[in-house]
Homo-oligomer: A and B are copies of this chain.
Amino acid sequence: MHTSIADILKQNQLSVTGSRTKILELFQQTGGALAHADIELKTGEQFDRVTIYRTLQTFVEKGIIHTIPTADNSVLYALCKDQCSEGHHHDNHIHFICDDCGTTYCLEQVAIPEVRLPNGFTKKQTDVVVSGLCNKCS
């Protein structure tokens, strides 16, 4: 069973408001990643652009969502999957961007491969972004 949206917010000491609930819902429904513009559109533009910026920023700070690096330099956000299993934090999964439909997937089932760095370099986080065709477009 999963944690309700309101619970996620409360667990992070955030008040339960319309925009936050709606935006989190949107992430849960989508499953994948969303850009700022997607959110504006898909919420029916009922929220101020600024509110969306601030909401996303808050979510990132609290670790509810994270940003995804993309080769085309757009800004994408996705749910941190372990938001439900509170405590442990390891969003170490691969992101896949479809060149055709543009959808971004968080491939939870694909583990991040180990990377060996040269001497003197310390690894904190590894982001892997794979692009190509998704299962719907190929």
Residues of chain A having any CB pair with chain B under 8 Å = 67-73, 75, 94, 96, 99, 107, 109-110, 113-136, 138
Q: Is the CB of B113 within 8 A of A114?
A: yes
Q: How far is the CB of A117 from chain B (nearest CB, A)?
A: 7
| Contact flag A120-B134 (CB < 8 Å), given A69-B73, A72-B67, A73-B67 | yes
Distance to closest chain B CB from A56 (angstroms): 11
List, sorted by A's number, 19 A–B pairs whose CB atoms are closer than 8 Å. A69-B70, A69-B73, A69-B129, A71-B127, A110-B115, A117-B132, A119-B135, A120-B135, A121-B134, A123-B130, A124-B133, A125-B130, A125-B131, A125-B132, A127-B128, A127-B129, A127-B130, A128-B129, A129-B129
Known: A72-B67, A73-B73, A110-B116. A132 touches B127 (CB 8 A): no
Q: Distance in Å from the Cβ of A137 to the closest Cβ of chain B?
A: 9
Nearest CB in chain B: distance from A52 CB, A: 15
Q: Is the CB of A94 within 8 A of B67?
A: no
A109 and B118 alpha carbons, distance in the complex (Å): 8
Q: How far, in whole Å, are A122 and B132 apart by their CA atoms in the complex?
A: 5
